[in-house]
Amino acid sequence: MNVLLFIVTIAISFVVVRIGAIAFELTGLEWSLAKFQALSCFSGTGFTTKEAELITGNPQRRRIASILIVLGHAGLVTLIATFANSIQPSISMPKVTFHFLPSGLIPWINLMIIIVAVYAIYKIFTNTKLVRKFTSTLREQIVKKEIIKQVSFEELVIATGGYGVSQIEISKDSPIVDKTLLESDLRKLDISVLVIERKGEAIPNPQADTKILSGDKLVCFGKLESIRKGLCELPHTS
């Protein structure tokens, strides 16, 4: 029973990580980065500061990461407990089921079963064609049931040095609300506003005298950390 539970837990862990990767991808992360982040959260190995900003700066991603971390810890505890019970000598089971085998041989049989099962699961989940089909099915179900709100454009381009494209919504308390792009001093922070989305309409390549209003969504290019700080922490000016 412990061997079976161990194998099922391993299989479920692969599925959970794959679902986490799809969820991260739907929030705007590039696929290879989404897979790495999902595995990092689930295994508890962590990731670099630059990549951590992509998770902590987005509410949806924070929720996904939190769920993966909790499930990862629960899965690790289950794996350790079931593995330990699987390889320790059994007193009752050999008499009932394996009465023809020495009791000391049972743990080794269980260990071999676990090794073969883990290898088989690994081969299945690394089969490119099979995994693609499985991933596609999971993605369709997640999108169909609206489990994760898919973003169309948010931190989709991550370049060297932490530069990229990010979409920020301007609140009524923002220090740059009701100011023009020139007055906002965003250029001094090396932040370029590419598009302003306002009431469902896009203003591409906005001019310097374009006023920023509450509720606007600014699609900006620059250093992601500077974009967040620049749009939230700029001092008020008269």
Residues 127 and 164 in one domain: no
pLDDT at 213: 92
pLDDT at 159: 47
Residues 120 and 192 in one domain: no
Residues 52 and 130 in one domain: yes
What is the three-class DSSP state of 147? Answer: coil
CATH number at residue 173: 3.30.70.1450
Looking at residue 180, what DSSP letter applies? Answer: B
- Would 23 be classed as within a structural domain? yes
Show the CA angle centred on residue 155, arms to residues 228 and 201, nearest 5°: 90
Residues 168 and 99 in one domain: no
Residues 172 and 118 in one domain: no
Residues 81 and 167 in one domain: no
- Would 53 be classed as within a structural domain? yes
pLDDT at 231: 60
The one-letter amino acid code at 10 reads: I
Q: Which helix (H) or strand (E) holds 220?
A: strand 217-223
C-alpha Rg value of the chain to the nearest Å: 25
The residue among 89, 111, 144 that closes a domain is: 144
Q: CA–CA distance from 224 to each of 51, 53, 88, 97, 231 (Å)?
A: 11, 9, 52, 62, 11
Q: Do 142 and 26 meet the contact criterion of CB atoms below 8 Å apart?
A: yes
pLDDT at 95: 42
Q: pLDDT below 50 — which residues of the chain?
A: 91-100, 152-156, 159, 234-238
The residue among 116, 144, 172 that closes a domain is: 144
Residues 107 and 28 in one domain: yes
pLDDT at 181: 92
Q: Which helix (H) or strand (E) holds 138?
A: helix 128-144
Residues 165 and 227 in one domain: yes
Q: What is the side-by-side strand order in the sheet with 192-198?
A: 163-169, 217-223, 192-198, 201-204
pLDDT tens for 159-208 read 455 677 877 778 887 888 899 999 988 888 888 999 999 887 889 999 99
Per the structure, the complete domain to which residue 41 belongs is given by 2-144
Residues 183 and 213 in one domain: yes
| Chain CA centroid to CA 76, Å | 19
Residues 129 and 191 in one domain: no
Residues 171 and 70 in one domain: no
Q: CA 189, CA 153: separation in Å to the nearest integer?
A: 22
Verdict on whether the full-model pTM lies above 0.85: no
Residues 16 and 133 in one domain: yes
| Chain CA centroid to CA 129, Å | 23
- Would 166 be classed as within a structural domain? yes
208 sits in the region (left: phi over 0; alpha: psi -120 to 50; else beta) called alpha
Looking at residue 118, what DSSP letter applies? Answer: H
- Would 138 be classed as within a structural domain? yes
What is the number of structural domains in the chain? 2
- Would 191 be classed as within a structural domain? yes
pLDDT at 94: 43
